Chain A
Amino acid sequence: MIAKRRTNLLYLFLLWILISLLVWPTFVVATTLFAYFSGQAWQLDAWNLIPKRDIVNQFLHGYINSAIVAVPLGFIAVIDHTLLSRYRVTWIFGGILLPLAGAAIASFFYKQPETALPSLVLTGLLLAVVYRLADVVAGNSRRGRLR
């Protein structure tokens, strides 16, 4: 019982780290996808007009600075897992807090939420997919906490 609890705590810790690490790259992928289809974004012009090393530097700058948002988001994933993975019926909704958190960030922190909302919700959805995949790989869908 104690071993199972330790395993679960270790899993939650790794989930926190994984989601926290993936927040910024996922955000960049999501925004670039929207940017590509809308045609309006810094990165589309930067690709042709500035050296790739500067784009990488901007990416790394964002990576470091976004930690203040990424770490809490990783924790939200942990809360989500703790709340929703216990029963099969709630597990279906596992990860829902991440796109909701994305929507909350857009609404609360941006002057024009409509510009950030789609990208942040998509970021949350993509992170939820990662989270669910991690759950499947960890075997939590077959055993463990699910009953």
Chain B
Amino acid sequence: MTSTNRFSHLAATSKCVTAALVVVVGALSVPVVTQASETTAVMIGGGYDIHGSQGQIELNVKWVQGILEQQTASVHTFFTDGDEAGVDVHYNLSADQRKSAVEPLARVFGDWVLETRRYREHTVANVAGSTRREDLEPSLRQLIDDTADQTLLMVYNGHGSQSYSTPDHVTLNLWDNTHLTANELHTLIKPRQAPFKFVFTQCYSGGFHRLAYDNPSSGLELADSPRCGFTAESAYRLSEGCSASIETDDYRDYTTYFFSALSGYERNGDIISHDPDLNEDGVTSLREAHLFTLEEAFSTDLSRSTSEDYLARWQPWYLRWLPEQKNLPNNEYSRIFRDLASRHDVELTDSIVTDIRQKLAAVDSSIEDASQQRYNLRDQALPLQRQLQTALVDQWPALLGPYTGAYHDLAGSGQLLAISNELAQNPIYNDLKAIQDQDYALDDTLLQLEREATQYQKLLRMRHLAILKQQLAQYGSEQEKSDYQSLLSCEETPLAAQ
């Protein structure tokens, strides 16, 4: 009896592409773009209401929609309120557009963020309908039926909510504040026998890996049909993105890297830094795009695939709590670990893990300092705002009621602009402005620090995954190894199924 079997016994832990077009630009090799296939794509995007419907989601949806249209048989897009009349996207004015005549008043009365925000109708083409639950669910049912013999790929770009019970209760936050949980989606796709794949980039998206399992709430037994996916985050963490900025360089979520690997081009049209086709078969698989993302993404996302989720869930009790081995096995996660270590100036020494933890602690400490600095700045700004508000309201009481006739008269007579101009000369206001500008600048600082911290966490995670993969090979039962292989097979297919 092998030691694996012994432990298993002891612990009782049993468990067409029709054409390919190779695009070569210059000296760089870029991934193959496959065309016309047996894959139907469903693209669901947008926020849950106008305030949660950021311009970047729309931009991402349009970009991904273009890639999906090139590489899959058909794309069905559902976005916010569909084609109903009314604004459903908000965006921030770019820095050079932010010259507002009433900026001083907006700053003093606490409306500066809203002052730089604008609203409009979405410009996504070929929208099949709204993401409102009562509209989307029947459409999804129909699509699931219609694609019974095809691969169905679901891509979601929007927001999600956390589950305080089991991970399968994380949600897709749909238009009009409606929701669809992972458990409910699991029920929707239950009759399917053909492959189902998903790419979800919202906060807490990791809970959707439960779609691959027979029981959405618990257990390690896989569903009968092939299901696998890729998520920006775990079921417990916020993902990056959700910015109202429409500057393409300002945001970089999972989609940004994943689909650039699949298309060969970044969102701004640049060719990607290196070929993600690891096995050099001329086709970039979904998993290769995911590994490319793990390597390239400098964001706050700790992304994961279903096979990685499986590895983490599989780890048996007698291995989980043990300190991990120092020597890394030879697999793809080890390679990414070494590449990332090199990128982040972490030396490959015996003490590498403690070095990473020290660096992580230092960045966490900087994040705490920056957060404290922000609290202090807000504490300084508040009395200045109150002082200025009191002085202004004493002199112009109409300022208190911005939705009143008196305020309308004040604005109509041009007095509002005069007040704003006068306020701009006030030394207290200038102090306030300086403090607020420092506060807003800290947002960027904090984001950069959080991204840096995530890189160290990612290093630790890659190391952990490398060891987990080896442990599965050593300690897993035949069924568990077979299940893991089936997930890998599902992930190792290209965007357009062959």
Residues of A within 8 A of B (CB): 27-28, 31-32, 34-35, 38-45, 49-51, 58, 61-62, 65-66, 68-69, 108-112, 114-116, 118-119
User: Could you mark each residue 1-42 of chain B with 1 if its beta carbon is under 8 Å from any beta carbon of chain A, else 0?
Assistant: 001101100111100000000000000000000000000000
Which residues of chain B are near A32, meaning CB under 8 Å? 321
Task: Name which of A34, A109, A116, A118 has the most chain B CB atoms within 10 A of its CB.
Answer: A109
Contact A61 B323 (CB under 8 A): no
Known: A43-B321, A62-B320. 15 other contacts (CB 8 A): A35-B323, A38-B353, A41-B321, A41-B322, A42-B320, A42-B464, A44-B357, A45-B457, A58-B320, A65-B11, A66-B317, A69-B11, A69-B318, A109-B3, A110-B7
Which residues of chain A are near B3, meaning CB under 8 Å? 108-111
Main secondary structure of the interface of A (DSSP, over half): helix
Contact A40 B324 (CB under 8 A): yes
Contact B322 A115 (CB under 8 A): yes
> Which listed residue (B11, B318, B353, B474) contacts A39, Cβ 8 A?
B353
Which residues of chain A are near B457, meaning CB under 8 Å? 45, 49
Contact B325 A62 (CB under 8 A): no
Which residues of chain B are near A108, meaning CB under 8 Å? 3, 6
Main secondary structure of the interface of B (DSSP, over half): helix
Which residues of chain A are near B6, meaning CB under 8 Å? 108-109
User: Count of chain B residues with Cβ under 8 Å from any Cβ of A?
Assistant: 34
Contact A62 B322 (CB under 8 A): no
Q: CB of B315 within 8 A of chain A?
A: yes
Contact B236 A31 (CB under 8 A): no
Contact B321 A111 (CB under 8 A): no
> Which listed residue (A50, A51, A66) contacts B318, Cβ 8 A?
A66
How many angstroms between the C-alpha atoms of A112 and B236 in the bound complex?
32
Contact A50 B234 (CB under 8 A): yes
Q: CB of B378 within 8 A of chain A?
A: no
B301 to chain A, nearest CB (A): 13
Which residues of chain A are near B463, meaning CB under 8 Å? 40
Which residues of chain B are near A28, meaning CB under 8 Å? 321
Known: A38-B354, A62-B317. A115 touches B10 (CB 8 A): no
Question: What are 16 A-B contacts defined by CB distance under 8 Å?
Answer: A28-B321, A31-B323, A32-B321, A38-B354, A41-B322, A41-B323, A43-B321, A45-B457, A49-B236, A58-B317, A62-B317, A62-B320, A65-B318, A66-B317, A108-B6, A111-B3
How many angstroms between the C-alpha atoms of A28 and B4 in the bound complex?
22
Contact A45 B322 (CB under 8 A): no
Which residues of chain A are near B234, meaning CB under 8 Å? 49-50
B239 to chain A, nearest CB (A): 14
Known: A49-B457, A50-B236, A109-B7. A115 touches B12 (CB 8 A): no
> Which listed residue (B12, B322, B353) contacts A68, Cβ 8 A?
B12
Number of A-B contacts (CB under 8 A): 92
Q: CB of B326 within 8 A of chain A?
A: yes
CB proximity to A under 8 Å, residues B330-378: 353-354, 356-357
Task: Name which of B10, B321, B461 has the most chain A CB atoms within 10 A of its CB.
Answer: B321
How many angstroms between the C-alpha atoms of A104 and B234 in the bound complex?
38
Contact A39 B354 (CB under 8 A): yes
Q: CB of B475 within 8 A of chain A?
A: yes
How many angstroms between the C-alpha atoms of A108 and B1 in the bound complex?
11
Q: CB of B107 within 8 A of chain A?
A: no
Contact B318 A31 (CB under 8 A): no
Q: CB of B237 within 8 A of chain A?
A: yes
How many angstroms between the C-alpha atoms of A43 and B319 in the bound complex?
12
Q: Residue of A at shortest CB range from B353?
A: A39
Known: A50-B236, A112-B325, A115-B322. A40 touches B353 (CB 8 A): yes
Q: Residue of A at shortest CB range from B235?
A: A50
How many angstroms between the C-alpha atoms of A108 and B6 in the bound complex?
9
Q: CB of B460 within 8 A of chain A?
A: yes
Contact A45 B321 (CB under 8 A): no
Task: Name which of B3, B302, B323, B463 has the most chain A CB atoms within 10 A of its CB.
Answer: B323
Which residues of chain A are near B318, meaning CB under 8 Å? 62, 65-66, 69, 109
How many angstroms between the C-alpha atoms of A10 and B322 in the bound complex?
34
CB proximity to A under 8 Å, residues B408-438: none
